[in-house]
Structure formats: structure tokens, C-alpha cells
Structure 1
Amino acid sequence: MRRQTATSGGNPAGSSRALRLDPLSLPVSFSAHDTRADGGVRRIELHRERVVLHRAVHGMRMAVKLRVSDFKGVARRGIGDAQMLVLVHRDPSLTIPLCVSSDREEIASAWQTWSEIFALPQLQDNEKRAPAPRRRRRNAIAERRPKFLVRRRAGDLLNPANLHRGEREIIARD
């Protein structure tokens, strides 16, 4: 049985091997390309229930822990002649590569296996994606009354139309 270590997922310098993780040998730790991270590399720990992303941005090291159920699914993407399987997240910077191959049958079987192991749907990666919904620009707090005015009743109390039935207006005189 082959054991996956920290160097098995990434491509060492000078290597022509494509990324190919074994879904039946989880947990696995590997390195992947990250444009925002220092050095352009992030380390990924992939388990059946969770994913941990380790990276450093501007010298600050961080670890992002995500449940596998937080991901949308496993998608197949075309990159030139080859195809790539990725674990898709709503945030594109958290999407994780799983497998790269030019053999379509291998990609199809790996796609099915990864989908079953993570209990996530197989997603079709269409070039035309629906745009994300626009965020509301209105601030709900802006129209609220200040705290000291919330205790006061709004309106004109001296107007006789605002007096409740049976109440009299009390006027204090010196």
C-alpha cells in the first residue's frame, strides 16, 4: 500500500508528474499553488470530514479549517489537453485541486470516487456562470433613531388630537 506524505501531492522542482491524489488513502497532506500566499504555495490537509489550509500572507501565518460539507461539490475543469478535478467552494480562493490527468476515463472514475467519498455532488463546470447576487447597499441602522430618542415618544404631545380619550392636559403654573 502506498503512503501519501507531504511531498506526494505537489510537484517537486523538475518533476513532470501531474497532481494525482488517492481518494482511498485519506488523510493526505500536500502543497498547492496559491497566488495570494507568500512564496505562492499553500499546504493542504485533506480528511474525509474536514479540510485545513495552511498559508502565510504578508508574513502572517494562518490555518483555515473547513468542513467538507461546506464545499459545493467536485467539479471537472478543462485545462488545455488535460482535465482537472477540484473541490469547489463558494469562495474561489478556497477551491482545492484533487487530480490532473489527460486520460478522460481516469478523470471520470476519479470524479465518481471523490464525489462518493465526500458525499458531494458532481458539478459540471460551465464556462458561463451566473453572476453572484448583488449585495445590498442600504444600511438598516442608518434610519434608526438615536438611543436617547428611542425612550421618548415621537410626535407632538401638546396637540389635543394626540391626547387619548379620557385624558386631560395638565398645565403647571407658577
Structure 2
Amino acid sequence: MRRQTATSGINPAGSSRALRLDPLSLPVRFEAHDTRADGGVRNIELHRERVVLRRAIGGMQMAINVRVSDFLGVALRGIDDAQMLVLAHRDPSLTIPLCVSSDREEIAVAGQMWSDIFALPQIKEDKTRQPAPRRRRHNAIRARRPKFLVRRRAGGLINPANIHQGEREIIARD
């Protein structure tokens, strides 16, 4: 079985040629268009259980590891004269292109294969979704002071009458 990479003949997304990834030869590594990334390109590694997105933003390299089960499904998007099959995520910046073609039958067959391999549903229309709101961390208040310490008054200044300065003897009682 041949491994598909960017140098082995797979056309990167956004090129003038059509993007066609083979779902039967996973893992696949390819480049896709990303407007926010440095150079406008992100590297994608697609495995059966996970997807790794690598890109640089503002000179900072990042790798995002996402489980395939976190994706919503395999969706169909319409572009100018062709259709694009994508692995849709709640966050639009994590959506992965899988296939671009003007042949509707080819898109339908590829959509069914990708859906079966990833065990994800096929979504008829990929509506632009807003990113999910950030979830609260489970230990968000762990670093705060305990409740009973918040209620207590903090110690005040030391009473100046208790400070003994300039004395030279120590008095001890028997």
C-alpha cells in the first residue's frame, strides 16, 4: 500500500488541480490553504483516529491534535464550479478538505467511503457554524483562597506598644 504525501503526487488543497485523497490509504499527509497561517498553508496529517494540523501564526509553530470523533461529520460544500467534500468541525478553522471535484457521482461515492471509514454521519449541507463557546475549566477556582479564609479578616498592623526598642536586659521570672 502506497503512502500519500505532498511529494508523492497528491495535489494540495487550493491548487489549480483537484484534491482527491484516498480514504483506503490512511495515514495521509497533505497541505491545505489557510488564510490565517503564515504563508497561507497548513500541513494536515489525517489518520483513522486523529487529525494533526500544523501551522504557524505570527512566527509561532503550533500542532493541533483532534480526535476524529470530535468532528460533526462529512459535509458537502459548493464552490465556484465544483463541490468540496470536507470533514466538518464546530470550529470552522478546524474543518479539513477531503475531496474537490465537479463530478457529483464521484463526490457521492467519496463521501460515503469517508463516512464509513471515520464512522461519522454524512451532512447534506455544511452551514457556516460559529465556534463553540469556551468551556469552563473544572479546576478554575482551585488556585483561589478557600472560602473560610476569604471571610476572615487579614491581620492588621502590629501594635506599636508591644515593640520594645533600645532595651538591654532580658527579664525572666522564676
Return the TM-score normalized by structure 1: 0.71
Task: Note the aligned Cα RMSD (angstroms).
Answer: 3.2
Alignment of structure 1 residues 21-170 onto 2, 5 Å: 21-125=21-125, 148=149, 150=151
Q: Within 1, Cα distance between the matches of 2:132 and 2:75?
A: 22
Q: Within 1, Cα distance between the matches of 2:119 and 2:73?
A: 8
CA shift for structure 1 position 130: 7.6
Q: What amino acid is the match of 2:110?
A: A
Moved over 6 A (4+): 129-135
Identity fraction in percent: 72
CA shift for structure 1 position 134: 8.1
Q: Structure 1 stretches of 5 or more lacking a match?
A: 136-140, 153-174
Q: Residues 81-135 of structure 1, C-alpha deviation per residue, up to 9 Å, x if partnerless?
A: 21100000111000000000000000000000000000000002155x6877889
Check the 8 A contact 1:27/1:47 in 2, yes or no. Answer: yes
CA shift for structure 1 position 10: 3.5
Q: Within 2, Cα distance between the matches of 1:126 and 1:36?
A: 21
Check the 8 A contact 1:19/1:100 in 2, yes or no. Answer: yes
Q: Structure 2 stretches of 5 or more lacking a match?
A: 135-140, 142-146, 154-174
CA shift for structure 1 position 4: 1.1
Q: Within 1, Cα distance between the matches of 2:6 and 2:13?
A: 11
- Flag the 1:19–1:68 CA change in 2: closer, same or farther, 3 A: same
Check the 8 A contact 1:53/1:64 in 2, yes or no. Answer: yes
- Flag the 1:31–1:116 CA change in 2: closer, same or farther, 3 A: same
Check the 8 A contact 2:29/2:43 in 1, yes or no. Answer: yes
Q: What amino acid is the match of 1:72?
A: L
CA shift for structure 1 position 2: 4.7
SS at match of 1:39: helix
Check the 8 A contact 1:9/1:31 in 2, yes or no. Answer: no
Check the 8 A contact 2:71/2:88 in 1, yes or no. Answer: yes
Q: Within 1, Cα distance between the matches of 2:13 and 2:71?
A: 28
Q: What amino acid is the match of 1:56?
A: A
Q: Within 1, Cα distance between the matches of 2:129 and 2:2?
A: 41
**What's 2:169 paired with?**
none
